[in-house]
Structure formats: C-alpha cells, structure tokens
Amino acid sequence: MPPRNTKLSDRHLVQIVDAALADTARRSGAWLACRPGCTQCCHGTFAIHQLDAQRLRSGLSNLETDDPARAARIQARAAASIARIAAGFPGDLKTGILFETEEAQRQFEDFANDEPCPLLDPASGLCDLYAARPMTCRVFGPPVRSGDENGLGVCELCYHGASDEQIAACEMVADPENVEAALLKRLEERTGIKGKTIVAFCLGQRS
C-alpha cells in the first residue's frame, strides 16, 4: 500500500532510495564495484517516468543558473542524441512519449543500446546531473528485484566471486512503501501528462 502522507515529496523519495543504496553498499563492500568513471551503465537508452523527467528538468534549470556552460553542453548532447535516434524512436517525436503498444515495447528493447546518456560528460566520465539522476540510475548495480521476477538483477561488473546467498544478503529494497508510485500518480493527475520518455527527449526539446 502506498503511504498516506500527502506531504511526501520527490526529495523524500530520493532520500529514501539513497539511504537504501548506502546500506546496500555497506553490506556489499568490495563486491559493489561501482566507482566514478565507470560508465557502462551510462550507455543504452532506457525509459524514465514523468517524476524522473520533472526532477531532471528541475536539476537542469538549477544548473543553468549555477553553471550555464555545463547546462548548455547537456542540452547540446541531448539534441544530438535525438538527431541520431529519431528515425527509430518508438514514440511521439513531438512529445518524446514512448508508445505503449506491444510492438513499440518490443522495438524499444533493442533501441539505441549503444547510445550514451546525454548526462554523461565524456571528458570526466561523470554524470553532469548526478543529484537529479533518474531512479533507474540510483538502483543500478546492487541486487534488486524487478517486477514479479524471483531472481535478483545485478550489474555484470559487480559481485564477482559472491555466492547466490551472499548476493541475496546484499539485496537493495529501494522503496518499500511505494512512495514513488504515489508521487507519480499525484504528478500525473496534476499535470495531465502520462507515459514514459527518455532522457534525451526530456532535456533536448524544452519549450
């Protein structure tokens, strides 16, 4: 059941997930190989929901004030990414919203798998909007259950030498009270905008 606290915000969600990651990292030790400059998970397009999109746009807006040159580079990379992938994008090119048909979902599985994230600074190997990054990025690496699957998914670079039992002992439960779902529902009801998009369209086509 989602929480009833109507005062919960995306900031609270980020705090919950980041605390869960810190706890998992403590239990994982050296098995969790994620380090600054490791960019394997920064390649390949993935879907983000509107809560992620709102957080990214807010982060970019703040960056435009604090570091306009870096913000401009992000937008330039996003626009260049859209130009590269637009022809095969299984969604609406005007809104950036992914289509939800079965065929579109199949197409997205193999879509732009080598495309670098526009947030990735190719010079430093770091995320230029790390504090505002999507939830997918925040939970990637540690053992996390996906949907109704029984197994735990981990980054292929992590947990080398660990047994199944040891991996299970490091499981990350990112959002046990489904705060994210409640906040997303509230946002969609308020804005009327539903559906998933990708980082490039979120930041590369701003009005």
Where do the structural domains in the chain lie, given as residue ranges? 47-204
Task: Give the separation between CA 88 and CA 137, rounded to whole angstroms.
Answer: 24
Q: What is the pLDDT of residue 206?
A: 54
Residue-wise pLDDT tens digits, 15-26: 999 999 999 999
Provide the whole-model pTM.
0.90
Residue 24 belongs to what H/E stretch? helix 10-28
Residue-wise pLDDT tens digits, 166-199: 999 999 999 999 999 999 999 999 999 999 999 9
What does the buried/exposed string (b/e) look like for 146-175 if buried means 16 or more CB atoms within 10 Å of the residue's CB?
eeeeeebebbeebbeebeeeebeebbbebb
172, 24 contact by CB (below 8 A): yes
DSSP helix/strand/coil, 144:
strand
Average pLDDT over residues 75-102: 96
Residue with tokens 């435009």: 64
Q: What is the pLDDT of residue 5?
A: 54
Q: What is the largest CA-CA distance in the chain?
A: 50
Answer whether residue 42 shows pLDDT above 60. yes
Rounding to the nearest 10 degrees, give the CA dihedral for residues 187, 176, 38, 97: -30
Q: Average pLDDT over the chain, rounded to whole? A: 92
142, 21 contact by CB (below 8 A): yes
Average pLDDT over residues 111-136: 96
